[in-house]
Structure 1
Amino acid sequence: MSEHKCVVGTCCCGCSLRSGSMAIGIVTLVLAIINAIYGVYIGIRGIPSGWVSLVINLIVIILSILLIQGIRQERRGFVMAWVWGMAVMVAINIILAIITIVVNFTIGYTIAVLIIMAVWIYLIIVVRSFGLGLSAGTNVA
């Protein structure tokens, strides 16, 4: 019963959940690849956080590939793996942002974090809605 809370019928632009989820998967994959390359670049320059960024983005790359394959093959488990993985990453980012805001409050950073986290939560809801549609056997195309 709680599985059907926070469900949307279409993506933000009015396109289907399938198309929206595929776009989310592709954009997430491309951005993670770019960020992974940048992580290697700053890691080589001697900044240890670059290697942490590389590992995190490799996880996002794997999750994005699972999402794209899950959509193509209509495999709910692959789609929901992305949902849960990204939900954990967003939760960790929210905790880190709260710590940063408490330690060093700036209004611009706070507003930017709120907007970015709201967008990520919406994207997760869109993909989750697609995954739930797969399990219910409804037409999500």
Structure 2
Amino acid sequence: MDSHKCVVSQCFVFFPCNCCCGLTLRTGSLIFGVLSLIGDGIIACLAGLATSASFAVGAGGIGSLWLFATFIAVVHFIASSMLLIGISNNNVKFIKAYVYANVAVIVLYVILVIVLLSYADFNRAVSYLVYILFMIYEAIVVRSYALQIEEGNQAPITGMA
């Protein structure tokens, strides 16, 4: 169990974490995968509804912005599905694909925040910034889990998580 000691001071962008909020990296990654899957499904639906409503009232610029948000959420939803499959099968390629997709989605959300700020939509910009910070921590934990599997430090799995 010493390999699962929680040392938060070692959790930086370029250094792997040993734990996720006191849980193992596998459990933390699994929780993040489920939360991302649910959250992105909700975001995709709501952004899709906002897109259709914006185009219906003739607000083309805002509608395009919501269409962009819908695209981002759908991409991250697919990546979250890959993460859950990768965790259940210990497939490092799927887990790393999620990390790369997560970084790309973070960049796209930063672009979205810049556009929202140009529209003076500060409330949504702040909410997306909080979500971006959550996604950065999520990427660190999932990347650390992928590194842990590659190094062979993964405890044997006795059943599905």
Same-fold call, TM cutoff 0.5: yes
1:35-74 correspondence to structure 2 within 5 Å? 35-45=43-53, 46=55, 47-74=63-90
What are the within-5 Å matches in structure 2 for residues 112-123 of structure 1?
Answer: 115-123=130-138
| Greater RCO structure (CA 8 Å; 6+ sep) | 1
Classify the secondary structure of the residue corresponding to 1:10. Answer: coil
Percent identity reads: 24
Using the alignment, how far apart are the partners of 2:64 and 2:114 within structure 1? Answer: 22
**RMSD of equivalent CA atoms:** 2.8
TM-score, normalised by the number of residues in structure 2 = 0.70
Structure 1 gap segments, 5+ residues each: none
1:22–1:71 contact (8 Å) kept in structure 2:
yes
User: Larger C-alpha radius of gyration, 1 or 2?
Assistant: 2
1:13-59, CA deviations, whole angstroms, 9 ceiling, x for partnerless residues?
A: x0000000000000000011001111221122122333222222111
Distance 1:94 1:65, change over 3 A: same
Contact 1:38 1:50 (C-alpha < 8 Å) held by counterparts: no
Alignment match, 1:11: 20
> Does the aligned pair in 2 maintain the 1:32–1:57 contact within 8 Å?
yes
Cα drift, residue 110 of structure 1 = 8.1
Partners of 1:123 and 1:62 lie apart in 2 by 16
Unaligned runs of 5+ in 2: 1-12, 56-62
**1:124 aligned partner:** 139
Amino acid at match of 2:73: N
TM-score (norm 1): 0.79
1:27 counterpart SS class: helix
Contact 1:80 1:128 in 2 (8 A): yes
Distance 2:118 2:64 in 1: 24
Q: CA deviation at 1:111?
A: 7.0
Structure 1 position 82, deviation (Å): 0.7
Q: Aligned to 1:118, what secondary structure does the other structure show?
A: helix
Distance between the aligned counterparts of 1:61 and 1:109, measured in 2?
A: 20
Aligned to 1:80: 96
| Structure 1 pair 97–54 and aligned structure 2 pair: CA distance change class (3 A) | closer
Of 148, 154, 158, the match for 1:133: 148
Range with bigger deviation, 18-27 or 39-48: 39-48
